[in-house]
Structure 1
């Protein structure tokens, strides 16, 4: 819900700029981002895919968490929803600063390595690429298996000028601009809904807005794949009358009487029968 809200808000306000995703995995968020790309904007994605990792720790992480990720798989998934691919950088995320112009992006999604050193660099690349009103989204900032992301994210808040806009269950939305205007719009939007929880806290001089969906909250509409085929409506069949000579099934009341006769004490059964006979 928040991912879509931030992108739609930018577009409704006429904010223009490129899109960047660092770490694409199988392409779900990349596909969603691609539907917000407008004429005149560029869209770049970067992932290691099946290339050699730049260090041993990153190689171990890739082999464990992303053994089936290939550029071909990502591109096939993406082209199931779009006519053309984004610009694909195949390699470590350290490529981004040299390939994406400074202050060119309105929205950056970071979901690559979970190792602190790499996340630190990805946050720096996002800061350099973003326009003044741009938004960065850091994925997995609070998962128990990704402490490197947590440390790098909150270090950026405390020491590198990142201003939190809000937190969801898994993502931190932030900016290097003044977060107050977008926070006020966000608060008004969330307070007008009844399908999500909202809390506001102060920490280290930052206003922290937490948003969490309630059970049953619908997910944002995801455009159907070009391979999707809507199910055909089931053919309506006329009710069939019982064949001649066939016996109709006993009525529910008859079955109930037989069950009562089997289960109730005889004295109760006789009393019920006498009452019906009156």
Structure 2
């Protein structure tokens, strides 16, 4: 097990410091779904397929209650099960290591989740059926793998459980899109809501949770919201508006208050001596210049100019 003692690596002080793609809107939605389950007394384990550097896993881990398990499955740069998956892993995650994930996770938690360094195909044998209340799928982008991960989630979720599918509409992940909408149209998955990156769904009745979600979202000024109907499904679409902030999250054990910035006062502008010829004349000198004959006035001025 890795420890967070390395001194040559920058350790995260806040969740935003952890590398990864987990925007504020999805942090809000994860938190809302998990807290709703907890308030309703729904119990079950947590599962994440594909962890990258641990950003979403860190948030999920905060919601694991006593008696619940949290399992994370990722290749972590290890051997992929087939050629296509190996090519994808080499292209997208060549810098990923299990040690980096563990360092980040242990910055926020006292103990690691159960970590499976393996392809997600091992999950049906490693996680008991009908044991999970929340499953986050963010592993392979290949159709066959995502299709199988969705099938595993169907078998693992308790009634009322939530599955989250990442990259369901990104231009570089058409395989995820095909597998996701195939599950909606042919495999009984019911969308609860859509964010820019993720589809949140259930194999139960989505209407009660949708109504509560809509009530929460309509009360916020930082989330754009629209509702559409398609193929018999109500699609609640959400998007973050400018300036949206992630919900509060505890800082890590490595957080340090930023040093106060001392602002030096602006230096006083340098003064330039005014030549004697440009200095304002006193009132007495002005009167004298007006009353004396010009020849005397010129003589006086020359004397004053030559005075040391």
TM-score by length of 2: 0.76
- 1:109 maps to 2:119: no
- 1:152: which partner in 2? 179
- 1:88: which partner in 2? 115
Instruction: Give the 3 Å change call, closer, same or farther, for CA 181–233 of structure 1 in structure 2.
Output: same
Write the distance in 2 (CA, Å) between the matches of 1:207 and 1:178. Answer: 12
- 1:124: which partner in 2? 151
Write the distance in 2 (CA, Å) between the matches of 1:148 and 1:199. Answer: 26
- Matched residue SS, 1:80: helix
2:226 alignment partner, one of 190, 199, 212: 199
Q: How does 1:1-278 map to 2 (within 5 A)?
A: 1-233=28-260
Instruction: Give the 3 Å change call, closer, same or farther, for CA 228–178 of structure 1 in structure 2.
Output: same
Higher Rg:
2
Instruction: Give the 3 Å change call, closer, same or farther, for CA 236–59 of structure 1 in structure 2.
Output: closer
Q: CA deviation at 1:232?
A: 4.7
Write the distance in 2 (CA, Å) between the matches of 1:234 and 1:118. Answer: 50
- 2:282: which partner in 1? none
- 2:15: which partner in 1? none
RMSD: 1.8
Write the distance in 2 (CA, Å) between the matches of 1:40 and 1:96. Answer: 20
Write the distance in 2 (CA, Å) between the matches of 1:201 and 1:46. Answer: 34
Write the distance in 2 (CA, Å) between the matches of 1:13 and 1:115. Answer: 35
- Matched residue SS, 2:108: coil
Q: CA deviation at 1:231?
A: 2.5
Q: CA deviation at 1:223?
A: 2.3
- Matched residue SS, 1:158: helix
* Alignment: residue pair count: 244
Write the distance in 1 (CA, Å) between the matches of 2:112 and 2:99. Answer: 12
C-alpha deviations, 1:137-164, integer Å up to 9, x for none?
Answer: 0000000000000000000000111000
C-alpha deviations, 1:246-266, integer Å up to 9, x for none?
Answer: x8768xxxxxxxxxxxxxxxx
- Matched residue SS, 2:73: strand
Write the distance in 2 (CA, Å) between the matches of 1:120 and 1:248. Answer: 71
Q: CA deviation at 1:236?
A: 9.9
C-alpha deviations, 1:84-136, integer Å up to 9, x for none?
Answer: 00001111000101100001111000000000000001101111110010000
Q: CA deviation at 1:234?
A: 5.6
